[in-house]
Chains A and B, each alone.
Chain A
């Protein structure tokens, strides 16, 4: 079984500052992928970044980077230079590698960017 834990129900960050959203996971699968999604109030889940469990380097996508610490089973999302449009719910998720595998989501963190 897989489990994703996001311990920060809500976070505030000043505009233009960096923020880290925490995510820890538990799985018995030897190979897996970790994802972060953004969900604005409109409801649509927007894919942000992906990290494979065997990737040697931490993933980066523009202002998003994933701080992957495999031994600690953590996959924190770092958003640099926060913008007002970053205010949303953020979900960490994971899936075992290989096809047809279900994705497990955490409970999310609500990020609010303050001008």
Chain B
């Protein structure tokens, strides 16, 4: 039984570009949450998707957007990348009230 799968594992982008990160949830999970983890910090909640709708959002600008597909997989899009967007981006899947199962993350470097 596959856990949470994230792609790509590493990514280097130039400031001002746009990036799309992908997440496939664990089998049986229908809720996907995204987190940003800067070096040496704890994960910061970006947003959560359930039934293809954004249900909760953290304190992130509109440059951060997402989507959930009918098969529960999800994408995180970041526009107009800043150097400060460099971080590990974690996806977690769950049932709506359960603890999250995390993927290994996508490490984004903005240069």
A residues sitting closer than 8 Å to B (CB atoms) are 4, 33, 35, 37, 42-47, 50, 91, 93, 97-108
Q: Is the CB of B42 within 8 A of A103?
A: no
* Contacting pair A102 B56 (CB below 8 A): yes
CB of A10, distance to nearest CB on chain B (Å): 11
Which residues B51-70 have CB closer than 8 A to chain A? Answer: 55-58
Which of B13-21, B75-83, B103-111 forms part of the interface with chain A? B103-111
> What's the Cα separation between A50 and B99 when bound, in Å?
8
Q: Which residues of B sit under 8 angstroms from A93, Cβ to Cβ?
A: 42
Interface residues, chain B, CB within 8 Å of chain A? 33, 35, 40-45, 48, 50, 55-58, 88, 90, 92, 96-97, 99-105, 107
Do A47 and B42 contact each other (CB < 8 Å), given the known contacts A100-B56, A101-B56, A102-B56? Answer: no
**Cross-chain contact of A100 among B42, B50, B88, B105 (Cβ < 8 A):** B50
Q: Which of B45, B50, B96 contacts A102 (CB 8 A)?
A: B45
User: What CA separation (Å) do A93 and B94 show in the bound complex?
Assistant: 15
